Amino acid sequence: MHPTNDPSAYSSTHSPCTSVPLDLFKSGQLLAIKPDCRGALIIQKRFYADFVGSGAAVGSSFDVDCTSVYAIGEVEFYAPTTYTERQQAFQKRREYCETLQSIVVIPAPLDRATTILHQLSLWLDVNVISEIPSALIAQLAGVLTKTVMIIRQQRPTNPAERLNIH
């Protein structure tokens, strides 16, 4: 579904990291990020943040308690209508949650910060990652903003080198 006047469709074509209207998520309506979408969302909750990428469910009961939502890159939503579409979107959201859970249980904060940056490089274009505020990345990994900044400073300035991608 392409963005139209339909409230179930929304497209964010903003710069690398922009705020998205909260009413879209607090309404309780189930949406999903299009499976071929190259963007993602960071959904902030009271004490942590979730990363949600292509194919994953958003809204519904997952996100009624969100405090802010940031679009990274171009994000397009659709309303899953069939049982299979909903199940696939739920499964994809679960996969993102499980990946973040595996990162936040790493005991050393510097290791968590390094791991979340590496994981983001698997999910997103490396040039976009450098535009994401350190505070948002810190919330994903359960570390202080300063910890993410330390890891970012230790890395080369070239995004490909910073993420060990050649």
**In the predicted model, what is the mean pLDDT of residues 148-153?**
95
Q: What is the pLDDT of residues 99-115, one digit of tens each?
A: 999 999 999 999 999 99
Nearest to 31 by CA among 50, 11, 9, 53: 9
Whether residue 74 has pLDDT greater than 60 = yes
Q: What is the pLDDT of residues 33-69, one digit of tens each?
A: 999 988 899 999 988 999 999 999 998 888 888 999 9
Give the pTM.
0.80
- Residue 41 pLDDT: 94
Whether residue 159 has pLDDT greater than 50 = no
- Residue 25 pLDDT: 78
Looking at the DSSP bridge assignments, the partners of residue 83 are: none
